[in-house]
Amino acid sequence: MVNLLTLIIVTKNQKMKKIICIKILLMTLGAVAQMSSNVIPKNDFFNIQINDVSFRKLVDANGDLNSLNGLLKKQNLKSDVIIDEKYFHYTYDGFNICYSEDEISSFVITNKNWSITVKDKSVKIGSDWSELGNVTLNNRTDGGKSVVFQYCDGCNNYLAFELDGNGKIKKIYYIEMT
């Protein structure tokens, strides 16, 4: 993983950078078989809150570090920011966010410091999946389970909650697959 991140930094070819970023995402997210989504209205999707900041505001930050630090009320905690003309990757304490050409291409939440609210249901790492309300579970090809939200059936972007064997949320991620 570290070698791939280093490769992104030194690679000059933009198309190759995007391919490497996609490979990193696929390696970290695992495979989802026959994804069954919980479809919510687009407005609700963009009003998803991460530590009381709407997804819409994160999108509108366009990868600007100062805007993100202000929205998240944090300083960038790690120096592995990858900046190229169109690609940005920021690592906060348990929250990684990537922008590609002014769009959020992904984010991953891996610790309890970050809450996420979907349709007035707030959860964090370690919460039971049932706290998300009446939702559909996915069976993943790796044997695990997840809960997926999209604003349209078959959209190229989705928010997923990966579950451990006890039904607790172990990872939260968003991916834009365009």
* Domain of residue 138, residue span: 2-176
Please say if the pLDDT value at position 97 is more than 50. yes
Residue 14 pLDDT = 63
Q: What average pLDDT score do residues 18-36 get?
A: 54
Closest CA to 169 of 90, 98, 108, 107: 108
Residue 87 pLDDT = 82
Instruction: Give the chain's domain count.
Output: 1
Please say if the pLDDT value at position 86 is more than 60. yes
Residue 36 pLDDT = 80
The DSSP annotation for the chain comes to -HHHHHHHHH---HHHHHHHHHHHHHHHH--BSSPPPEE--HHHHHT-EETTEEHHHHHHTTT-HHHHHHHHTS----S--EEETTEEEEEETTEEEEEETTEEEEEEE-STT-EEEETTEEEETT-BGGGG-S---EEBTTS-EEEEEESSTT-SEEEEEEE-TTSBEEEEEEEE--
Q: What is the pLDDT of residues 101-148, one digit of tens each?
A: 878 999 999 999 999 999 999 999 999 999 999 999 988 888 889 999
Q: Is 174 in contact with 104 (CB distance < 8 Å)?
A: yes
Please say if the pLDDT value at position 2 is more than 60. no
pTM recorded for the entire structure: 0.78
The more confidently predicted of residues 3 and 63 is: 63
Give me 153's structure tokens.
Answer: 């059936």
What is d(CA 84, CA 106) in angstroms, rounded to the nearest whole number? 16
Q: What average pLDDT score do residues 40-65 get?
A: 94
Dihedral sign for Cα atoms in the order 58, 59, 65, 66 = negative
Which of 2-16, 69-83, 130-144 is the least confident region?
A: 2-16
Q: What is the pLDDT of residues 139-177, one digit of tens each?
A: 888 888 999 999 998 788 999 999 999 999 999 999 997
